[in-house]
Structure 1
Amino acid sequence: MSRTGRTPVSTAAAGEPLSIQLQRTIRRKIILGEYPQGLALTEQRVAADLDVSRVPVREAMPVLQQQGFVEASPRRTSYVTTWTAQRINDLFDARLGVEVVAVGGAARRTRAGIDTAGLEQMLAKAEHHLDEGEALELAETNSAVHVTLVAAAGNELLNELMRVISGRLAWIFYLTSSRDLRNQVHEHHAITEAIRNGNDRLAESLMWAHIEAGRGPTLDALVR
């Protein structure tokens, strides 16, 4: 906390715009529930809380809206997004459309000789956070695993779609961290192994099953 009692923006890389730092800070607060679902996030409120001016807050909000963390009202007030059954199903349906296709493409590219070392590194990082009980870091890393799996397909449009999805994924993963996370990591390894072996159909099947396995528990945890 700052000496004024407000929450300071975290230290960032030199030269990084303040609006980018704010996006990261606000996103973290939303994921952790410090800004709960449905909360009104006025520019004045956020600026006071984070000890900044209103201008960078105004710049950060549209990006957070695009990422699915906030939604705007007709009165130009932003609210923390509330997870509904419709939003959860929309997210999982979008994932099926992007991730299943991507891992099949990644496996076919592996047959042509691409390297999966980046995937292996990301999986090792996820296992470290799991072993250390670092829930937020694991949620963020598991989201990054899915981004990396999609990137392995070499399809820039799929990458763009996944960038829109990835923030929501990290949030969902954190909110459902009571699930069997070790089994999820094991499934990531199985998908990666199928990609490494160039088995596109198996990779697609495993990813489909992996995504669908999370739909019901997510609905149960957040809506029902």
Structure 2
Amino acid sequence: MAKLQPVPEPEHTAPAEVHRDDEARAEQIYQLVLEGIVAGKFAQGMRLRERELSEMYDVSRIPVREAIQRLEQDGFVATFPRRGAVVRQLTLTDVNELFDVRLCLESFAARRAAERVGAGQPGGQLKELVDGARRAIDEGRADDVVLISTAFHAEIVRLTGNTLLIESVKPLFGRMRWIFGLAHNRSNELQRDEHVELCNAILGGQAELAASLAYSHIELGRAPVLTGLAETLEP
């Protein structure tokens, strides 16, 4: 079972330090449960009991409760009377809405990233992620391909330098990994080629081309994902 790294607690701990420790534990629990949801360990509709999670991760219920509240805010968990917190049941509408929002935000992010790279912002990490995805595909590491693909899109957003945008899209990328883990019907090689084109446009400072490529890349992924999920998700 996964356990948290111990957070040292001095004999005389100031209130501010205690608060930071609690926040750190809640963040760790958030990430652990989120990974469990994305990986299918916590299936859709499954109850998330505070007591069981606190025992599983060897913490008190307070950080577990805070983590569940965050997961609810970010759309991974729903709370019902008498049932408590459960992993949210995704719908095809949820998937469509995610693609709609990505079209808006990631097209802007690609344009802005290209502008900043063109003005001198280093963009080498983007190329490293493309190369990493190529190696993962060649070696048949499917799970790593999804992780690297998500990291590629997140890096484009990071390159915008827009702190509000960077923080706002974090839950979206969590949903991306969740949904692509359930249905991923496009060729990895095709997606890799699209990532290469997008990467080259951004590194070349071609802002409008980057925005167009980001838009088409996202839209081309919509129908295969919806088709793959049509038999398992409600409308």
Deviation, 1:146, is 0.6
Kindly provide the CA deviation profile for residues 67-103 of structure 1, in whole angstroms up to 9, marking residues without a partner as x.
3321222457111122201111111111011000111
Aligned equivalents of 2:75, 2:138: Cα separation in 1 = 29
Deviation, 1:66, is 2.9
Q: Which residue pairs with 1:127 in the alignment? A: 134
Aligned equivalents of 2:200, 2:5: Cα separation in 1 = 36
> What amino acid is the match of 2:41?
E
Counterpart mapping for 1:131-142 below 5 A: 131-142=138-149
Task: Decide whether the 8 Å contact of 1:139 with 1:173 is kept in 2.
Answer: yes
Q: 193, 196, 201: which is aligned to 2:208?
A: 201
**What is the TM-score with the length of structure 2 in the denominator?**
0.82
Deviation, 1:12, is 4.8
Q: 127, 137, 160: which is aligned to 2:167?
A: 160
Deviation, 1:211, is 0.5
Q: 18, 22, 26: which is aligned to 2:25?
A: 18
Q: Which residue pairs with 1:215 in the alignment? A: 222
**What is the TM-score with the length of structure 1 in the denominator?**
0.85
Q: Which residue pairs with 1:145 in the alignment? A: 152
Q: 160, 167, 180: which is aligned to 1:173?
A: 180
Aligned equivalents of 2:140, 2:27: Cα separation in 1 = 28
> What amino acid is the match of 2:157?
V
Overall identity of the aligned pairs, in %: 36
Q: Which residue pairs with 1:4 in the alignment? A: none
Q: Which residue pairs with 2:66 in the alignment? A: 59
Counterpart mapping for 1:30-69 below 5 A: 30-69=37-76
Correspondence 1:118 to 2:116: no
SS at match of 1:78: strand
In structure 2, runs of 5+ residues without a counterpart are 9-20
> What amino acid is the match of 1:53?
S
Residue 49 to residue 118, structure 1, CA distance change in 2 (3 Å): same
Task: Decide whether the 8 Å contact of 1:66 with 1:164 is kept in 2.
Answer: no
Aligned equivalents of 1:21, 1:110: Cα separation in 2 = 33
SS at match of 2:43: coil
Deviation, 1:38, is 1.2
Correspondence 1:95 to 2:102: yes
Aligned equivalents of 1:12, 1:187: Cα separation in 2 = 39
Kindly provide the CA deviation profile for residues 91-130 of structure 1, in whole angstroms up to 9, marking residues without a partner as x.
1111011000111111222222222112112223333333
Q: 2, 5, 9: which is aligned to 1:8?
A: 2
Deviation, 1:158, is 2.1
Deviation, 1:175, is 2.2
In structure 1, runs of 5+ residues without a counterpart are 1-6
> What amino acid is the match of 1:118?
Q
Deviates more, 1:165-174 or 1:16-25: 16-25
